[in-house]
């Protein structure tokens, strides 16, 4: 059995908007109005969201977590191994308990 470290996926504001089914401007306005927490930034000052951030935003927005749109975005980002996708989601969800 390999002891592969799971890579933490990073999401852009556009990715998060697609997951939450809102526009990127809506996310910007909610961050500005402090309805959403301020995102972390990378070295170039671009906003970045972790999987845990996305799960939190889903809870804030809808009061539940739906992994289907997250899996869809991850698949588009190149996470094509369904077993790895499941492990990434499971690991993120287990941190929440």
Q: What is the pTM of this model?
A: 0.88
Instruction: Count the Cβ atoms, other than its own, within 10 Å of residue 4.
Output: 8
Residue boundaries of the structural domains of the chain:
10-96
DSSP state of 65: -
pLDDT of residue 52: 95
In the predicted model, is pLDDT for residue 21 greater than 90?
Answer: yes
Q: At what angle do helices 67-76 and 82-96 cross, to 10 degrees?
A: 140
In the predicted model, is pLDDT for residue 2 greater than 50?
Answer: no
d(CA 82, CA 34): 35
In the predicted model, is pLDDT for residue 95 greater than 60?
Answer: yes
Q: % helix / strand / coil in the chain, to the nearest 5?
A: 55, 10, 35
pLDDT of residue 5: 54
What are the two backbone dihedrals, phi and then psi, of residue 70, each rounded to the nearest 5 degrees?
Answer: -65, -45
Residues contacting 52, CB < 8 A, separation 6+? 92, 95, 96
**pLDDT tens digits for range 24-68:** 999 999 999 999 999 999 999 999 999 999 999 999 999 999 999
Instruction: Tell me the CATH class for 10-96.
Output: mainly alpha
> What SS3 class is residue 50?
strand
When the pLDDT of each residue in the chain is averaged and rounded to a whole number, the result is 91
| Segment 6-32 mean pLDDT | 94
In the predicted model, is pLDDT for residue 3 greater than 60?
Answer: no
Joined tokens for residue 89 = 């989601």
């Amino acid at each position: 059995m390999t002891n592969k470290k799971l890579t933490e996926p990073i999401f852009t504001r556009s990715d998060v908007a697609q997951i939450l089914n809102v526009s990127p401007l809506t996310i910007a306005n909610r961050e500005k109005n402090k309805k959403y927490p301020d995102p972390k930034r990378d070295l170039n000052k671009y906003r970045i969201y972790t999987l845990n951030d996305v799960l939190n935003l889903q809870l804030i927005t809808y009061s539940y977590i739906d992994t289907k749109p997250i899996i869809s975005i991850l698949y588009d980002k190149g996470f094509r191994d369904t077993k790895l996708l499941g492990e990434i989601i499971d690991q993120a969800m287990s941190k929440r308990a």
